């Protein structure tokens, strides 16, 4: 899929953002062909140099979350700079007039101010809490109980996991919000303001997963269970060659295949008779998980990881050995290279590395193109000339006045 025939080709969105959620929302649209124009202050926003970085200080984070966008830098403090930003946001056209931002508290970006120039403006605002106060994934996660569910059973302290799950969900909600609002505008001719709070996205999922109801209806505080699967059978095992393999049996078929390959069906049937258990059910597989794990452990400990993978391959059992990210680009490099979503890009200022395109695979397309991120301010003159019709001398004067950033 190329920009020309991407499913969102022709859609233009102005993005004023930092951190994870809003940039991810914009990149999600860019990877589907939308013209995403990221506008930053001259010199960059807070995430311009965010970790991880190369030894030379180039942000791999920036390169990862801004793929496929165009980059413009404008002085947010100057009146002329604010005029330029407003003009970009409210530029005429049926697939224009869309702003994605997590910049809260800037009066010149308020919806009421901008819609004076374009009444059908679509504006999606990402915030921490719905009142506009700030929050990040770590603080939201802490507020909603997950750190008390994560980690080994014997640990007394909370464990705040490193995956920015709520940022990811919030960013994808932001992309959905833009598409939903744009469809409504096509049908009814009206734009509007859409607010998305990181906390609200996380709270919704706590409810959707049944955690709130579990605590309220059952009057329980769910305990930590380490790497066991909650409500079924799943856990990890060490292998003879000191690898660790995660094994999950979610269904009766998974369970039967696991019993067959490990030749433990008869033993487990005897155990079921002694305990009065029915291991065809999730309930009893979970209730007696430690006993079952004790029976399975010798089978895994007496085999190398490669042999275990060969024996489990072709069965319905869900499994994977634990790998580090370094393993993925080391021993797993050929697997990554062969993946149709992945491609090696040559990122200016960083060099060549493997990067993903869109995870969405359309049946009528054979490619999910991975692209580089822009260099900060790379498209400033191009975008201002194309959208606002500014001439070379006008752009030169704006540059001399430091209203816009110089192209690299």
Instruction: Band the pLDDT of 369: cuts 50, 70, 90.
Output: confident
Q: What is the pLDDT of residue 367?
A: 60
pLDDT at residue 16 in the model: 98
Largest distance between two CA atoms of the chain: 88
103-107, 165-169, 297-301, 352-356 — which is least confidently predicted?
103-107
Q: Is the pLDDT of residue 3 over 60?
A: no
Q: What is the pLDDT of residues 193-245, one digit of tens each?
A: 999 999 999 999 999 999 999 999 999 999 999 999 999 999 999 999 999 99
Residues 272, 276, 281, 286: what is their CA dihedral angle, to the nearest 10 degrees?
A: -80
Contact 261, 317 (CB under 8 A): yes
Strand partners, 246: 236, 320
**Angle 42-45-50 (CA atoms, 0-180°, nearest 5)?**
130
The closest alpha carbon to 24, from 137, 171, 163, belongs to: 171
167 is catalytic: yes
Average pLDDT over residues 8-12: 96
Structure tokens that stand for 256 in this block: 């039967």
pLDDT, one tens digit per residue, over 56-110 is 999 999 999 999 999 999 999 999 999 999 999 999 999 999 999 999 989 999 9
For the chain, how big is the Rg over CA atoms in Å? 26
The model's confidence at residue 6, banded by pLDDT at 50, 70 and 90, is: confident
Read off the pLDDT of residues 262-299 as tens digits, 9 standing for 90 and up: 999 999 999 999 999 999 999 999 999 999 999 999 99
Contact call for residues 209 and 60 (beta carbons, < 8 A): no
Closest CA to 65 of 98, 26, 9, 13: 26
Model confidence band, residue 363 (pLDDT cutoffs 50, 70, 90): confident
Q: Are 246 and 309 in contact (CB under 8 A)?
A: no
Residue 119 has pLDDT above 60, yes or no: yes
Q: HSE, CB side, 13 Å, CA atoms: give it for residue 286.
A: 12
Closest CA to 96 of 87, 104, 108, 83: 87
- 108-139 burial: b if 16+ Cβ within 10 Å, else e: ebebeebbeebebbbbbbbbbeeeeeebebeb
Share of the chain above pLDDT 90, in %: 94
- Please report which confidence band the pLDDT of residue 2 belongs to, taking 50, 70 and 90 as the band edges: very low
> In which element (H, E) is residue 248 found?
strand 244-249
- Is pTM, for the whole model, over 0.85? yes
- Percent of all residues in the chain with a pLDDT value above 70, rounded to a whole number: 98
Which of 24-38, 172-186, 366-380 shows the lowest mean pLDDT across its residues? Answer: 366-380
pLDDT band at 406 (very low <50, low <70, confident <90, very high): confident
Instruction: From the candidates 167, 200, 236, 257, give the one annotated as an active-site residue.
Output: 167
399: Cα separation from own chain's centroid: 35
Find out whether 270 and 264 touch, Cβ atoms under 8 Å. no
pLDDT at 255 over 70: yes
Helices (H), 189-304: 198-208, 211-217, 252-262, 265-275, 282-287, 289-301
**Quick one: which H or E segment has residue 174?**
helix 165-188
Bridge partners of residue 196, in order along the sequence: 126
Q: Check pLDDT > 80 for residue 1.
A: no
Beta bridge partners of 247: 235, 319
CB contact burial 235-274 (16+ within 10 A = b; e otherwise): bbbebeeebebebbbbeeebbbbbbebbebeeebeebeee
Burial of 342 (0-12, 13-18, 19+ CB in 10 A): middle
Q: What is the C-alpha separation between 44 and 58, in angstroms, rounded?
A: 13
Average predicted confidence (pLDDT) for the chain: 95
């Amino acid at each position: 899929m190329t920009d020309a025939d991407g499913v969102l080709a022709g859609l233009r969105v102005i993005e004023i953002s930092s951190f994870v959620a809003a940039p991810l929302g914009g990149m999600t649209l860019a990877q589907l062909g939308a013209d995403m124009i990221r506008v930053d202050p001259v010199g960059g926003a807070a995430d311009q140099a965010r970790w991880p970085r190369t030894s030379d200080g180039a942000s791999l984070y920036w390169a990862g979350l801004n793929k496929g966008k165009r980059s413009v830098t404008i002085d947010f403090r100057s009146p002329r700079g604010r005029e330029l930003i407003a003009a970009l946001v409210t530029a005429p056209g049926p697939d224009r007039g869309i702003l994605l931002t997590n910049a809260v508290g800037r009066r010149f970006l308020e919806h009421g101010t901008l819609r004076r120039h374009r009444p059908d403006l679509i504006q999606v605002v990402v915030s921490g809490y719905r009142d506009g106060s700030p929050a990040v994934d770590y603080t939201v996660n802490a507020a909603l109980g997950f750190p008390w569910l994560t980690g080994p059973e014997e640990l007394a302290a909370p464990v705040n996991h490193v995956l920015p799950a709520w940022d990811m969900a919030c960013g994808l909600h932001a992309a959905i919000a833009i598409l939903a609002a744009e469809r409504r505008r096509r049908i009814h001719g009206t734009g509007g303001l859409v607010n998305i709070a990181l906390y609200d996205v996380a709270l919704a999922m706590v409810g959707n997963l049944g955690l709130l109801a579990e605590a309220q209806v059952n009057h329980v505080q769910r305990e930590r269970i380490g790497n066991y699967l909650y409500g079924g059978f799943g856990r990890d095992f060490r292998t003879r060659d000191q690898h660790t393999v995660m094994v999950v049996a979610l269904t009766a078929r998974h369970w039967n295949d696991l019993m067959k390959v490990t030749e433990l069906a008869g033993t487990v049937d005897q155990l079921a008779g002694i305990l009065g258990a029915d291991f065809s059910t999730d309930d009893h597989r979970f209730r007696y998980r430690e006993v079952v794990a004790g029976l399975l452990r010798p089978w895994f400990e007496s085999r190398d990881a490669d042999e275990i993978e060969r024996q489990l391959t072709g069965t319905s059992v869900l499994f994977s050995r634990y790998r580090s990210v370094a393993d993925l680009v080391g021993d797993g490099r050929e697997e990554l290279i062969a993946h149709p979503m992945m491609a090696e890009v040559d990122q200016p200022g960083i060099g060549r590395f493997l990067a993903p395109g869109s995870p969405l695979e359309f049946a009528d397309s054979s490619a999910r193109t991975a692209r580089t991120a822009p260099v900060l301010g790379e498209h400033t003159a191009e975008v201002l000339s194309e959208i606002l019709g500014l001439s070379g001398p006008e752009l030169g004067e704006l540059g001399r006045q430091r209203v816009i950033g110089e192209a690299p």
